[in-house]
Each structure stands twice: as C-alpha cells, then as structure tokens.
Structure 1
C-alpha cells in the first residue's frame, strides 16, 4: 500500500516542535505496519527534507505568525477574508492547485491519503478527494480557536479567532465525514469531533523519538524546575500565563525556574528565581538538568508531547489534569493538581526529594498501542502489501 502523507511542513529531522515529533512517530508507525509512505508539503526556509527520496517538496515557506511583519500579517488576513479560508490554511496557499496536482502525479500512484491535520488539508481540500483518506486530527482545532478567542487581548483578535473557530468546525466535520478513518491524539477528541465509534476512529499514543532515551544514571541538577516550549503558540501561552500568574507567586523566593523556548514579547515575572533562557542547544539535556518538570497545559486539545517526553525520561513532574489528556498511564512520580497553590507546594516537595523512575516500560506500552491503532486504521483503506525500503 502506497500512502501520500499530506502535511503543512515536511520532516527535516530536527523534531523542534510537538507537531514535528508527532508526525515522525506517526510516519514511522505507518511504515512499521508495512505501508510505503511518501510525504508531501513545504519545508522551512533553509531546512531540506530529512528523507528526500520519499518526500515531495512544494517549496519553502515560513508560516510563523509571531515573526512575520505587520504587512505580511495583514496580507494573510486579507487573503483569508477574500478566499473564505482559515488564517492558518491561507498561509499555505503559496503555490497554485495545478502545482500540487502535478507534484502528486509525479510521485504517484497512491492507494490513499493521510491528511495530517486541518491546515494543509484545508488549504488544498478539493485536491485529495479522488482516493480514500485517513484524517489525523492533532487537535480539535475549532475548540482551540474558541479558547484562543476567549483569551485574546483585543477585539480584533477575538473576532479573528471567532471566525477561525466557525470555519474550522465545518472543515473538521467535512474531513471527518469524508475520511475512511480518523486518528486523534486524545480520547476526548474523538467525542468532540463526533467520531467516538471504534469503527470510525482510534487514539494514537505517541512517543518522542525513534529510539528510547539513553539511560543516564546520574543527573546534574542545575535548577529546581524547567519548562521548554513554543510559547508563541496560543494554547501554550495560555498555560504559561497561568503558571507565571497563578503558580509562581506561591513559590518561595529561592525556588529556581528556568524557561526555554521562543517567547512572545511582554512575558515577564517578578519572582527572583524565574529565568528566561531562550533557545537551548539540547532540549533533553535542559529538562534533565531540573529537579522537577511542571506540565502546565490549561487549554487546547490533542496530546501534550512534553508530558510524554517527561514520562519517557522518568523525570519527576507536577501536572495539570489537562496535561495528561491522551495518556492512560501516569507514573508514580507525577503529581496531578489544578490548584495553583497546591501545584506550587507539589513542585517544592518534588524538588526537595528527587524521585526518578524507569521510563522504558511507559515507552514500550505507547509503541505497542500506537502500532495496534495504526493497523486498525489501515484496515479501513484495504489490505496492506509489504514493501521493501532502501
């Protein structure tokens, strides 16, 4: 079986975001199930595809809103309003339909499509109707857009996110209705999309890398707590604002918190122990240098890859209940609370007595369940022919 995996940004091997980590895990699982997978989409500027022989590149684009100029943002908004597309999808309309169709024809034939999230599928929705498809819903995007609208700081942002929510809801409904099968990354997302039947959908438990994390008996602790993420993404920003505004004031002054990753302007903290460190060369080494990991999601849908990575590494954590969505197993060194004061006390207690666990069993259970779900979805497309790969 030959599948075309249609996605906004093709893998470049960096695994710099949760979206890219999830894509790598899903593509690897499809190939373990015996499918040949060709990926189609765009690259980031200056970052070539990691697997060029099995990738169709439509061009290089930068779709990040936070780093775009005001002129570019206005152009995207104008194109979205004129075209009836979402803001996220219109950014991918960098090439005409004819170029996409020609690229697909050169790389085919295909038995079916894997439509990876709504952004690319929404930008070129009519082009992938000639074959059966599987839809991968990384999040329930229309619910995330509603949350973003509620948290927006300006009327314009509220109106923009409100429009996104309305368009995304109808788009997600169409993609689910047309798909032979739907994969979600969290159990509650199946019901939110109206596809909770086992004949229509399954949850994909994820892992964060091709190999299990290397065992390291001794950790050098440089801070009490560490967080890393793309904080310019609105659901992540909502969680960070909750942590800085609600949890951090309850921490003792000497508690050291390091926060890494792309940071929007205006994010500050008066707590003397909070340090914003920007980009770090090794994300895994950064989190391993902390006594405890705060898992702070309070918005969005889908699964939190940082939670999975923390559990794979066996690191102590304090998590909101929202951070555990899509994860069935909670290790013994994870404390769950949504109360800010309790969250702060749990962080201090975990940092005082560090309790690492073996994360290998968690990873093995994730891979086993992931492969079973992938096989179930592929059965809806037809029998899978084993193919050799170079």
Structure 2
C-alpha cells in the first residue's frame, strides 16, 4: 500500500516541536505497518527534508505568526476573510492547487491519503476527495480556538479566535465525515470530534523516539525545576501564565526554576528563583538536570509530548490533569494535582527528595506497542490487511 501523508511542514529531522515529534512517530508507525509512505508539504526556510527520496517539497514557507511582520499578518487576515478559510490554512496557500495536483500525480499512484491535521487539508480540501483517507486530528482545533478566545485580552484578538473556532468546527466535521478512519492523540478527543465509535477512530499513544532513552542514573541536578516549550504558542502560554501567576508565588524564595524556549516579550516573574534561559543546545540534558519537571498544561486538546518525554526519561514530575490527556499509564513518580498551593508543595517535596530517575523503558514499550496496533486497525479500513502488515 502506498500512502500520501499530506502535512503543512515536512519532517526535517530537527524535532523542534511537539507537532514535529508527533509527525515523526506517526510516519514511523505507518512504515512499520508495511505501508510505503510519501510525505507532501512545505519545508521551513533553510531546511531540507530528512527523507528526500520519500518527500515531495512544495517550497519553503514560514508559517509562524509570532515572528511574522505586521504586513504579513494583515495579508494573511485579508486572504482568510476573502476566501472564508481559517487563518491557519490560508498561510499555506503559497502555491496554486494545480501545482499540488500535478505533484501528487507525479509521485503516485496512491492507495489513500493520510491528512495530517486541519491546516493543509483545510487549505486544499478538494484535492483529497478522489481516494479514501485517514484524518489525523492532533487536537480538537475548534476547542483550542475557543480557549484562546477566552484567554485573549483584546477585543480584536478575541473576535479572530472566535471566527477561527467557527470555521474550524465545520472543517473538522467535514474532514471526519469524509475520512474512512480518524486518529486522535487523546482518548477524549474522539467524542469531542463525534467519532467515538471504535469502528471510526482510535487514539494513538505516542512516543518521542524510536528507542527508549537511556536511564539517567546518577544524573547531575543543577536546578529544582525545569520547563521547556514554545511559550509563544497560546495553549502553552496559558499553562505558563497559570504556573507563574498562581503556583510560583507559593514556592520558597530559594526554589530555582529554569525556563527554556521561545519567550514572549511580556513574559516575566518577580520570583527571585525564576530564570528564563532561552534556547538551549541540548533539550534532553536540560530537562534531565532538574530535580522535578512541572507539567503545567491548562488548555488545549491532543497530547502533551513533554509529558510523554518526561515519562520516557523516568523523571520525577508534578502534573495537572490536563497535562495527562492521552496517557493511559501513570508512572509512580508523578504527582497529580490542579490546586496551585498543592502543586507548589509537591514541587518542593520532590525537589528536596532529589530522587533519581526511574526506568521509563516499560512506559515506552507499552506506548509503542499500542501505537502500532492502533495504526494497523486504521489502515485496515483502507484495505491494508494484517497479512500484509506481518509481511
């Protein structure tokens, strides 16, 4: 079976975001099933696809809103308003549909499409109706847009998020209705998308790497807690604002917190132990250097890849319930709480204990096995038999 994996940004091997990590895990699982996979999409500027022989690059494109100029943002907004597309999809209208149609024809023939998230599929929806498809819903995007609207401080921003939510809801309904099967990244997202039947969907337990990471025995601890993420992304920002505003004030003054990743200009903390370190050269070494990892998600759908990575590393953690969506098995060194004061106390206790990591390989194996089984179930709806998979 030959599948076209249609996505906004093709893998370049960097795995710099949760979206890219999830894409790599899903593509690897499709290939382990026995399917041949060709990836179609754009590259980040200055990047090259990690698997050029099995990738069709439509061009180079930067789709980040936070780094775009005011003129670029206005252009995207104008095109979205005139076309009736979502803001996220209109960014991908950088090439004409006929060019993409010809690229698909040249790379084929295909037995089916895997439509990866709503952005690319929404930008070129009519191109993928001639073959059966599987839709991969990384999030329930319309719910995330509504959460972003509720957290927005300006009237215009709130209006735009609500517009996005209305369009995304209709788009997600269409993509789910057309798809033979829907993969979500969290169990609760299946019902939110109206595809809770096991014949229509499955939630994919993800991994952040093909092999389980090494056990960090005797690791060097340089700080009490560490967080890393793209804080310019609104769902992540909502969690960090909660952590800095409601949890951190209850921590003792000498509690040391290091925060890595893209930082909005208005992000700050009065706590003397909080340090923003920006981009770090080795994300794995950075997160392993903390006595405890706070998993602070308060908004969004889908799965938190940072949670999965923390559990694969076997690191002590304190997690909100939202940070655990898509997780079926909880490690024994993870404390769950949503109350800010209790969260702060649990962080201090974990930091004082200075516990070593536990073996996360069993968690990784369980996730990988379940991922492969559910991918196989979805592919059966496209005619890919278990006999072919075993072969």
TM-score by length of 2: 0.98
Which residue of structure 2 lines up, in the alignment, with residue 366 of structure 1? 367
Which residue of structure 2 lines up, in the alignment, with residue 264 of structure 1? 264
Which residue of structure 1 lines up, in the alignment, with residue 334 of structure 2? 334
Alignment of 1:110-259 (within 5 A): 110-259=110-259
* Displacement after TM superposition at 1:216 (Å): 3.0
* Displacement after TM superposition at 1:386 (Å): 4.9
Deviation readout 1:279-315 (Å, 9 max, x if unpaired): 0011110000000000000000000000000000000
User: SS of 1:327's equivalent?
Assistant: coil
Instruction: For 1:209 and 1:151, locate their aligned partners in 2 and report how far apart those are by CA, in whole Å.
Output: 33
Instruction: For 1:8 and 1:386, locate their aligned partners in 2 and report how far apart those are by CA, in whole Å.
Output: 29
* Range moving further from structure 2, 376-385 or 45-54: 376-385
Which residue of structure 2 lines up, in the alignment, with residue 377 of structure 1? 378
Which residue of structure 1 lines up, in the alignment, with residue 42 of structure 2? 42
Instruction: For 1:303 and 1:35, locate their aligned partners in 2 and report how far apart those are by CA, in whole Å.
Output: 25
Instruction: For 2:267 and 2:64, locate their aligned partners in 1 and report how far apart those are by CA, in whole Å.
Output: 19
Instruction: For 2:133 and 2:64, locate their aligned partners in 1 and report how far apart those are by CA, in whole Å.
Output: 28
Instruction: For 1:364 and 1:140, locate their aligned partners in 2 and report how far apart those are by CA, in whole Å.
Output: 27
Contact 2:296 2:323 in 1 (8 A): yes
Instruction: For 1:209 and 1:281, locate their aligned partners in 2 and report how far apart those are by CA, in whole Å.
Output: 18
1:67 aligns with 2:67: yes
Any runs of at least 4 consecutive aligned residues in structure 1 with deviations exceeding 2 A, and if so which? Answer: 383-387
Deviation readout 1:187-213 (Å, 9 max, x if unpaired): 000000000000000010000012211
* Displacement after TM superposition at 1:354 (Å): 2.6
* Displacement after TM superposition at 1:218 (Å): 1.6
Contact 2:186 2:204 in 1 (8 A): yes
Instruction: For 1:183 and 1:383, locate their aligned partners in 2 and report how far apart those are by CA, in whole Å.
Output: 16
Which residue of structure 2 lines up, in the alignment, with residue 15 of structure 1? 15
TM-score by length of 1: 0.98
User: SS of 1:136's equivalent?
Assistant: strand
Alignment of 1:80-99 (within 5 A): 80-99=80-99
User: SS of 1:41's equivalent?
Assistant: strand
Deviation readout 1:5-62 (Å, 9 max, x if unpaired): 0000000000000000000000000001000000000000001000000000000000
Contact 2:215 2:314 in 1 (8 A): no
Instruction: For 1:161 and 1:358, locate their aligned partners in 2 and report how far apart those are by CA, in whole Å.
Output: 42
Deviation readout 1:94-129 (Å, 9 max, x if unpaired): 000011001101100000000000000000000000
Instruction: For 1:73 and 1:265, locate their aligned partners in 2 and report how far apart those are by CA, in whole Å.
Output: 18
Aligned CA RMSD, in angstroms, stands at 1.3
Instruction: For 1:210 and 1:246, locate their aligned partners in 2 and report how far apart those are by CA, in whole Å.
Output: 37
User: SS of 1:311's equivalent?
Assistant: helix
Number of residue pairs matched by the alignment: 389
* Displacement after TM superposition at 1:217 (Å): 1.6
Instruction: For 2:23 and 2:221, locate their aligned partners in 1 and report how far apart those are by CA, in whole Å.
Output: 31
Which residue of structure 2 lines up, in the alignment, with residue 76 of structure 1? 76
User: SS of 1:56's equivalent?
Assistant: strand
Deviation readout 1:247-295 (Å, 9 max, x if unpaired): 0000000000000001111000000000000000111100000000000
Alignment of 1:316-331 (within 5 A): 316-331=316-331
What runs of 5+ residues in structure 1 fail to find an aligned partner?
A: none
User: SS of 1:120's equivalent?
Assistant: helix
Instruction: For 2:198 and 2:307, locate their aligned partners in 1 and report how far apart those are by CA, in whole Å.
Output: 26
* Displacement after TM superposition at 1:186 (Å): 0.3
Instruction: For 1:312 and 1:342, locate their aligned partners in 2 and report how far apart those are by CA, in whole Å.
Output: 25
